[in-house]
Amino acid sequence: MSYAIVYSSQTGNTAQLATHIKHILPAKELVYFGSVSPEALHTDILFVGSWTDKGTCSPEIAQFLHQLKNKQVYLLAKAG
Chain residues that interact with ligand FMN, rule: CB under 6 A: 9-15, 51-55, 78-80
Q: 49, 75 in Cβ contact below 8 A?
A: yes
| Residue 51, burial from CB neighbour count under 10 angstroms (0-12, 13-18, 19+) | buried
- Closer residue to ligand FMN, CB minimum distance, 25 or 53: 53
- Closer residue to ligand FMN, CB minimum distance, 38 or 80: 80
- Closer residue to ligand FMN, CB minimum distance, 2 or 63: 63
Q: 49, 14 in Cβ contact below 8 A?
A: yes
Residue 15: CB minimum distance to ligand FMN, A? 6
